[in-house]
Structures are given as C-alpha cells and as structure tokens.
Structure 1
Amino acid sequence: MSDGPNYTNYSHLELLEAYESIDRENYPERFQKICKFMQEKGLIVETETGFQLTTKAYESSNMDRPNEESKPSYTCLPPEPQYDDEGNYIPNEIPKKNRVTNALFSVGIILYGGYGLHVNELWVPLAKRISIVLTGIPAILMFVAIVFASIMMIAEVVDHYDKRDNEHTYYKVALYFKNLAYAVFGIAVVLGLFMGSRIG
C-alpha cells in the first residue's frame, strides 16, 4: 500500500501547494514528510510555535495567500533570524522583484531630484493631482530627503547579498533613514509653503 505521493521530484511551487492543501489532522505522517522535503530545500524552518515559511518560499510562490496576512514591508517589523536543524544561520533573502524595484526606483528619484535642483524647480506630488513646486533651500532639503529614501531602499538590496547574521543592522539603518526622509520631507514642504512655493 502506498504511503502517499513521492515528494522528491516536486518543484518548490508544488511543495508549497501540497503543504497548504494537505489535511494535517488526518494525514500527519504525510504532512511531516512534506515538511522534511521543504526543510531540505530551505522553504520552511521549524520554530517553537510550529513551521514557518522562509523568504525563499515567498519568492518561489506566485500563489495568492488569502489565509495569511500580507508580507510586511522591509521596515515594518524587525527581521527574525532563521536557523536550520543544526543551528546554522540561514541567510536573509530579499525577493528579486524587490531588489530590482528598489535599485531602479532609487536611481530614478535621485536623477529626478538632481534635475529639479539643476533647473531650480523641483515638482513634488503631495496628493492626487496636487503637487508643490520647490525652489531654493526647500528644493535642496527635498533632494536630501530623496537621498535618505534611496539609502533606505539600497540597504534592503545590500542585505540580500550580505550573508552574515546581521540583518538587524540593515533593518535599523533602513528604518533610521526612512524616518529621516519623512522628517526632512515634511520640513521641506512646510518651508516651501511658508516661502510661497507654487501649488500645481
């Protein structure tokens, strides 16, 4: 009598689908078998409260996950270091889509801000169809805020390639520059309004 499917040749996506759909109460042995293969592939880790999907699992899956909360943004919650059964650290992985988006967006907003400084007219969107046109010191401050925001996004990219157990450091750097970016952004807008910047 067969003891269930042979998960050896399952793709990452197939393992994730099986992991989410299996009846764990009626088929505990089969569930443990799935977990074993997923641990070997780095898709889950065992914690004190049960099994937890890794970043690699999120990156491998294109499925909608209606029963799970959306994955938090990089600076939303402190990262939780993950370890395998032997206590070896599993490097933090940032999905490729996030890395590419962060890199391109960082370069794009710096070029945009730099051009705005060059022509002394930096357009900044505040709301839908509402922008403020900054010049002089407010424009310089806004460019500084843009640089801080870029550093925040690049920290996430660098974190992916640094395989040491120090993602908390990158998290703190990103959070610090995120807060700085918001603060300087607010100062630039208020100062701009005080100095009579044009609203478009």
Structure 2
Amino acid sequence: MSEARAHRRRVDAVEGQLHVPNHIPRAERISNVLFSVPLLAYSIYGFVQDDIYIPGRRGPGVHLYGVPMWLMCAAMLSVGASLLSVVIDHYDTRANEANYRKFAAVTQLLGWVLFFGAFALDIWVYRGVGR
C-alpha cells in the first residue's frame, strides 16, 4: 500500500471504525470541473443578460427570458453543484460519502425538474400554446 493511501486511512471518531475515503479518478474529477465551470459561467451570464440561449439540434434554438430563464439558471447551477460535489468529496477525508451521494442525487433530480419546468413554462405560458 502506498504511503499516500495509508496516510488517508484513519479511524472514524464517531463509530471507531477504520475509514478509507473514496477515491475519484483524476479523469472524472477533471471532466466534472471542465463541464461545471462553463455551465456555471453561462448560467451567471444568462442571468445578467436576462437571456439564455439553448441551441437546437435541427432548428434555430430557443431563447429563454423571464421566469423560464430563472428556472434554467437554477437548473444549470444545480447540475454544476452536483458535478463539483463529486470533486469536493474526493478531497474530503471525513466519513460522509453518503451525504455527498444524497446531495448529488437531489441536485441532479432538481436540475432535471427545473430544466423541463423552464421549457414547459416557456411553451405553455409565454408562447401561449396551452391557450
């Protein structure tokens, strides 16, 4: 066992058991940061401009304004927080991996709900399709 790995082992103060913090591969940590930072930056930019552009696959894409834009910004922040929580969990040596997993699951679910909610609100309320 390497010295670095042995150094990361410690006895949990609460349960008195040996705890080995989880290890997230470097490639996954780098990809999470590379995806989350531009996502968070674009969310802040969209919030400041009151316009978030979501490119379309075959069409011109969608511009979100007002409340749908707020929901999309919240969705992007939620997903960015979820991605960064994995990176933070790697460096946190406390025995709280279950808390990080719960946080990631909740923020991912919240991100999807807000994402689809932003489009639903834009389509049915702002564009008047539901009238």
- Provide the secondary structure at the position in 1 that maps to 2:54: strand
Q: How far did residue 163 of structure 1 move?
A: 1.4
TM-score by length of 1: 0.51
Q: In the alignment, is residue 183 of structure 1 matched against residue 113 of structure 2?
A: yes
Q: How far did residue 113 of structure 1 move?
A: 1.9
Deviation readout 1:98-122 (Å, 9 max, x if unpaired): 1122123212112112222333221
Deviation readout 1:9-44 (Å, 9 max, x if unpaired): xxxxxxxxxxxxxxxxxxxxxxxxxxxxxxx45xxx
Question: Which protein is richer in helix relative to its size?
Answer: 2
Which protein is bigger by CA-based radius of gyration? 1
Structure 2 partner of 1:101? 31
Structure 1 residue ranges without an equivalent (≥5): 1-39, 42-86
Structure 2 partner of 1:128? 57
Structure-1 separation of matches of 2:47 and 2:94: 38
CA RMSD of aligned residues (A): 2.2
Identity %: 32
- Higher RCO (CA < 8 A, seq sep 6+): 2
Q: In the alignment, is residue 91 of structure 1 matched against residue 21 of structure 2?
A: yes
Q: How far did residue 124 of structure 1 move?
A: 1.9
Amino acid at match of 2:127: G
Q: How far did residue 166 of structure 1 move?
A: 1.7
Q: How far did residue 173 of structure 1 move?
A: 0.5
Structure-2 separation of matches of 1:129 and 1:121: 21
Structure 2 residue ranges without an equivalent (≥5): 3-16
Structure 2 partner of 1:170? 100
Structure 2 partner of 1:118? 48
Q: In the alignment, is residue 151 of structure 1 matched against residue 81 of structure 2?
A: yes
After the TM superposition, which segments of 4 or more aligned residues of structure 1 sit over 6 Å from their partners?
Answer: none
Structure-2 separation of matches of 1:164 and 1:121: 40
Amino acid at match of 1:123: Y
TM-score by length of 2: 0.76
Find 2:69's aligned residue among 123, 133, 139. 139
- Provide the secondary structure at the position in 2 that maps to 1:138: helix
- Provide the secondary structure at the position in 1 that maps to 2:32: helix
